[in-house]
């Protein structure tokens, strides 16, 4: 009977160690977990970099999640005070975030279903609102702030 109890105790101790390790792994993974909407936004950003197309982002909710992911990847609470004070339209704000994510004019044009030249004109209008000089690079300004 003692041998049975010793074996049973050994089995329980071994199983306890296994479950403790498994719980620790679960805690590590759950600390890194992100919401499904953030995962979708991350996949949309990846798609914009690899295979841009019109309609990748379909709703304002998805735009807000994309903004959050861009903030997470390229620096949190990114929106500088001078951009907040210029009263940018939602379309201009989207453009700024896409530039912040290092997307090209062609990619942004595909996403918005406009021409790359229209993207350039939009950037020029925002530059004027920000009082940047003609020699200042809009993309560098947005990416460095």
CA distance 32 to 93: 29
The torsion region of residue 87 among left (phi > 0), alpha (psi -120 to 50) and beta comes to: left
Domain residue limits, the chain: 1-33, 38-144
Q: What is the pLDDT along the chain (145 residues), one digit of tens a residue?
A: 577 778 888 887 888 888 787 777 666 555 555 678 888 999 999 999 999 999 999 999 999 999 989 988 887 666 666 666 778 899 999 999 999 999 999 999 999 999 999 999 999 999 999 888 989 999 999 988 7
**Which residue bears the tokens 């798609």?**
47
**Which residue bears the tokens 């690899």?**
50
Which are the contacts of 94, defined by CB distance < 8 A and separation ≥ 6?
63, 112
Nearest CA to 45 out of 116, 111, 93, 137 is that of 111
Q: pTM of whole model > 0.85?
A: no
Give the per-residue pLDDT at 85.
72
Give the per-residue pLDDT at 12.
79
């Amino acid at each position: 009977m003692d041998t049975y109890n010793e074996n049973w105790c050994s089995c329980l101790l071994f199983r306890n160690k296994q479950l403790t390790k498994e719980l620790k792994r679960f805690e590590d993974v759950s600390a890194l977990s992100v919401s499904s909407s953030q995962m979708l936004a991350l996949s949309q950003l990846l798609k914009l970099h690899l295979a841009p197309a019109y309609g990748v982002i379909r709703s304002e909710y998805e735009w807000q999640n994309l903004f959050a992911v861009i903030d997470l990847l390229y620096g949190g609470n990114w929106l500088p005070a001078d951009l907040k004070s210029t009263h940018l339209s939602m379309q201009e704000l989207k453009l700024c975030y896409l530039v912040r994510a290092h997307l090209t004019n062609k990619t942004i044009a595909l996403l918005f279903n406009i021409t790359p030249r229209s993207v350039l004109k939009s950037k020029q209008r925002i530059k004027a609102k920000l009082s940047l000089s003609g020699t200042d690079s809009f993309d560098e300004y947005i990416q460095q702030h």
